């Protein structure tokens, strides 16, 4: 019986780690996170960081004749710490997070704010970055923006009005401007850490990260909540087929294909083997080696 349970445990672990890399050419980067892709699946953006996060930049890749091209650093990134890009539903705005100063005449970085670049068409160049300003940005940190069809914005912040360490906030778009931000209900936020929310374009569900909850699998897990009669249902852990014992975070759902893209620090490095030099280097440099990497998996079972 112990043997059977051991086999089942190994099978579950292997199944839980079976998620595919988001794109083939992401294997060329040591540390990647934060993925967003256009509705037509021809344009994608993601974050590349050094192992200790001294530098952080936003990269873009496009699909030509069915093949993803080599990613390149976007024109507005490379000097400051830029991360967490999000394409608007119409593809004409790209929101991101940066510690860049508010004015080009300044050099010193500041706290993290949400910025946006815009373009007239999907083939146009991006504009210069624009800080969203108040009420979304504050003297505290704002992270991981997501904008819905109604232009409502959800994001993460550690400001004092949070229920815990980090909360997910909402700023509604009304009368052509953003309203005062509110922390989402206790169905989502707690006294701990909630962060990195993806919200369906029609706001029917929210997918987010939470750190070391009682029902967690070991570190940061992804949770889902649905909006019913105007209220969020109590969030539920996605389970071991999506989460791992390591950090799983930064979800993005490509709605047309019902595919979940997410960042994970999962590792399948095997211990106790008598490795040769070649085998050793191959093992520690494989995709799921504990560094932040972007994966994808079918998400249709969660979408009504």
In tens, the pLDDT along 164-216 reads: 999 999 999 999 999 999 999 999 999 999 999 999 999 999 999 999 999 99
Amino acid 13: pLDDT: 44
Residue 6 backbone phi and psi in degrees, to 5: -65, -45
d(CA 142, CA 82) in angstroms, rounded, equals 12
All structural domains of the chain, each given as residue ranges with its CATH number in brackets, are 2-302 (2.120.10)
Which helix (H) or strand (E) segment holds residue 180: the answer is: none
Q: Which of 266, 252, 172 is nearest to 207 (CA)?
A: 252
- Give the pLDDT of residue 304: 73
Q: What is the pLDDT of residue 54?
A: 95
> Which among 99, 205, 228, 190 is positioned nearest to 154, based on CA atoms?
205
pLDDT given for residue 30 in this prediction: 81
Query: Strand pairing partners for 97?
Result: 83, 114
Q: Which pLDDT value is given to residue 8?
A: 37
* Strand runs labelled E in 13-112: 20-21, 32-37, 43-49, 56-64, 67-68, 72-73, 82-87, 93-98
Alpha-carbon span 210 to 253, nearest angstrom? 17
CB-based burial, 198-208: b 16+ in 10 Å, e otherwise: bbbeeeebbbb
Q: Which residues of the chain have pLDDT under 70?
A: 1-18
Whole-angstrom CA distances from 168 to 50, 92, 269, 280 are 27, 24, 33, 41
């Amino acid at each position: 019986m112990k043997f059977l349970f051991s086999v089942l445990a190994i099978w579950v672990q292997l199944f839980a780690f079976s998620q595919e890399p988001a794109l083939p050419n992401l294997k060329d980067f040591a540390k990647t996170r934060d993925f967003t892709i256009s509705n037509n699946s021809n344009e994608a953006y993601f974050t590349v960081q050094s192992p200790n996060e001294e530098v952080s930049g936003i990269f873009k890749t496009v699909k030509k004749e069915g093949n993803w091209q080599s990613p390149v650093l976007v024109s507005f990134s490379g000097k400051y710490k830029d991360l967490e890009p999000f394409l608007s539903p119409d593809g004409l705005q790209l929101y991101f997070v940066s510690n860049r100063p508010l004015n080009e005449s300044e050099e010193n970085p500041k706290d993290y704010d949400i910025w946006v670049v815009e373009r007239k068409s999907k083939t146009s160049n991006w504009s210069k970055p624009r800080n969203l300003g108040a009420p979304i940005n504050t003297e505290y940190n704002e992270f991981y923006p997501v904008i819905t069809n109604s232009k409502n914005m959800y994001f993460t912040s550690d400001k004092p009005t949070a229920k815990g360490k980090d909360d997910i906030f909402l700023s509604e778009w009304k009368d052509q401007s953003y309203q005062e931000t509110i922390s989402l209900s206790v169905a989502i936020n707690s006294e701990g850490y909630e962060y990195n929310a993806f919200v369906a374009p029609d706001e029917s569900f929210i997918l987010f990260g939470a750190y070391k909850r009682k029902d967690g699998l070991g570190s940061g897990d992804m949770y889902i909540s649905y909006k019913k009669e105007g209220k969020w249902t109590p969030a539920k852990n996605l389970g071991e087929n999506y989460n791992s014992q390591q950090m799983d975070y930064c979800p993005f759902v490509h709605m047309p294909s019902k595919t979940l893209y997410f960042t994970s620090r999962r590792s399948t490095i095997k211990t106790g083997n008598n490795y040769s030099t070649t085998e050793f280097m191959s093992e520690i440099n494989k995709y799921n080696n504990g560094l932040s990497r972007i994966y994808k998996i079918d998400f249709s079972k969660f979408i009504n």
